[in-house]
Structure 1
């Protein structure tokens, strides 16, 4: 693999590139970065939280997750998303 020098852009090229990228429909707004929810422990683009759950409920969650072929965390996330979507 060859090592190349970094291409130097002038300010108008950088401004044009930034305008192009921010005009994209899937572009993230800068204001969203300042509104990052800081609760929990950062794990990639998600947050890890700790909950306390009754053993019987946990057993049912694990059984349902196994029956659906997914992990406990995925099942809980899916259930929460479904509840909050309403």
Structure 2
């Protein structure tokens, strides 16, 4: 008498989970979402920025000429750069 193994039933083969289930599982991981660095100040995020002194002086002059704070001038410049990139401009 020979020892044989049982064949798995072909009626119920193991199906891989659908892509949506896999994506939901991965996005539910604690480290899935990028964490913002810096300090949250109201609805804004504080960051640290190092800038050349000559560029900082130009930034301060620009901000003063337009009645803006340094932070507002930086935010406006970043916003304009991102919008130009998204719209295909240079």
TM-score by length of 2: 0.53
Structure 1 spans left out of the alignment, 5+ residues: 1-34
CA RMSD in angstroms, aligned pairs only: 1.9
Unaligned runs of 5+ in 2: 1-32, 85-90
Structure 1 equivalent of residue 55 of structure 2:
57
* Length, aligned pairs only: 53
What is aligned with 1:78?
A: 76
Higher helix residue share:
1
TM-score, normalization by structure 1: 0.56
The alignment partner of 1:74 has SS state of: helix
Structure 1 segments of 4+ aligned residues over 3 angstroms from their partners: none
Q: State which structure, 1 or 2, has the greater radius of gyration over its C-alpha atoms.
A: 2
